[in-house]
Structures are given as structure tokens and as C-alpha cells.
């Protein structure tokens, strides 16, 4: 039997030896599955993101320190409503609209003296004024603003709350509120950042 030349044997040994250190061949990437709703008709699940859960808040069972999904939905709705009021307040005061009269007579401070910025208005209100605001918010949180047992998250208005019988209209309205609240949270954050950087809250609209 003829023995291969020495250079051929060395080349074969190098090829076989290097293949022993190769990792497993990567499987071809599978195409991502289409985004689906968490549940049919889920409020807040809208294009283009669909179900977007980078923090895995939808995972079950719920393990401490996570809270239930409904609790996070309630918090999102509540913060969205507060942010919409905050944005509206900044826009209104920047437009020059003020309550008549005094904010504090002892300090000779009128409502018209309060600036319209997201942070500058906070600094101008005296501590006793903020104490009243916080007390009012605590009252809303514990009474009128608390979600009654059995109600959907955010359904807090009692008999005075506007409700819709048409499922299509109701879904549209609730999705509009959720998305407007998300936009408002980003908006008021931007206004505060502008104010902190020394420009107007509505920069560049207001220089």
C-alpha cells in the first residue's frame, strides 16, 4: 500500500485538527412571528408597536416585586391623565390666561405673577400652596380617583363618568385616551427638560 507524501499527511492533520475546535453551525435565523394582541380587543395595544413588553410585565405568575398587569394599566392611565392636565396647564399659562385675584395675599402674590414654565411655575408657588395641592390629590386618590372593585382600570368617575354603549366607539375613545396620555407624558417631560436647560417650556415655539 502506497503511503501519501509527508506534506499531504501534515495538511490533512491541520484540517482535521482545526475542525475539532469549531463551534456548532449557527441555525438560520427564523423570521419573527407577527405581533399579536395580548387579548382580543385589548385597550392600548395599537400600531405600530402592538404588544411591546421589554420589562416582561405580562409574565405569569406574578412574582414580587412585580404587581398585577391591571395595576400597571391603572397607573399608566392615571399618569397619562395627570400629564394631559399638566401639558394643558403649561400651554394655557404660556398663552397668558390666569385666574383673577391673589394666590397669596400675605405674600402679595397674584396668579398673574406666576410664570408659565413647567418648573418655574413650581418654584413660584409658596409651600402652603403646594400643601393644599397635595392634600387635594390625596383626597382624589383615596376617594373619587380610586377604581371601585370590579371596574375596569381607570373607570373611576361613578355616575358622572361619560360611558359609551357602542363597542366600536368605546374602544376608539379608550385607545385615544391611552395614546394621548402617553404623548402627554413625553410632552411634559420635554417641557421640564427645556425649563431645566434655561429655555422656555414651549421652546422653540416660544423663544
Q: What is the pTM of this model?
A: 0.73
- The pLDDT tens digits for 103-126 are 998 889 999 998 888 898 888 899
pLDDT on residue 187: 95
- The rounded distance, in Å, linking the Cα atoms of 27 and 49 is 28
pLDDT band at 38 (very low <50, low <70, confident <90, very high): low
pLDDT band at 197 (very low <50, low <70, confident <90, very high): very high
- The rounded distance, in Å, linking the Cα atoms of 192 and 198 is 10
Written as one string, the DSSP assignment of 156-183 is --GGGS---SSHHHHHHHHHHHHHHHHH
Written as one string, the DSSP assignment of 56-87 is -TT-SS--TT---HHHHHHHHHHHHHHHHHHH
The enclosing H or E element of 142 equals helix 127-142
Least Cα distance to 153 among 51, 62, 39, 72 occurs for 72
Least Cα distance to 158 among 170, 146, 166, 171 occurs for 146
Amino acid at each position: 500500500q502506497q503511503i501519501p507524501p509527508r506534506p499531504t499527511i501534515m495538511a490533512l492533520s491541520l484540517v482535521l485538527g482545526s475542525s475539532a475546535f469549531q463551534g456548532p453551525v449557527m441555525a438560520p435565523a427564523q423570521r419573527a412571528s407577527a405581533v399579536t394582541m395580548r387579548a382580543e380587543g385589548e385597550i392600548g395595544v395599537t400600531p405600530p408597536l402592538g404588544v411591546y413588553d421589554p420589562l416582561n410585565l405580562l409574565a405569569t405568575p406574578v412574582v414580587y416585586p412585580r404587581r398585577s398587569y391591571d395595576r400597571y394599566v391603572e397607573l399608566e392611565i392615571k399618569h397619562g391623565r395627570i400629564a394631559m392636565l399638566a401639558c394643558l396647564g403649561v400651554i394655557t399659562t404660556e398663552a397668558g390666561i390666569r385666574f383673577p385675584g391673589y394666590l397669596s395675599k400675605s405674600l402679595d402674590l397674584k396668579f398673574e405673577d406666576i410664570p408659565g414654565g413647567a418648573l418655574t411655575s413650581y418654584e413660584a408657588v409658596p409651600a402652603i400652596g403646594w400643601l393644599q395641592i397635595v392634600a387635594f390629590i390625596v383626597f382624589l386618590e383615596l376617594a373619587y380617583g380610586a377604581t371601585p372593585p370590579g371596574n375596569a382600570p381607570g373607570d373611576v368617575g361613578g355616575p358622572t363618568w361619560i360611558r359609551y354603549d357602542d363597542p366600536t366607539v368605546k374602544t376608539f375613545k379608550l385607545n385615544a385616551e391611552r395614546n394621548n396620555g402617553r404623548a402627554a407624558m413625553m410632552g411634559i417631560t420635554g417641557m421640564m427638560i427645556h425649563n431645566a436647560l434655561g429655555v422656555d417650556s414651549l421652546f422653540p415655539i416660544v423663544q
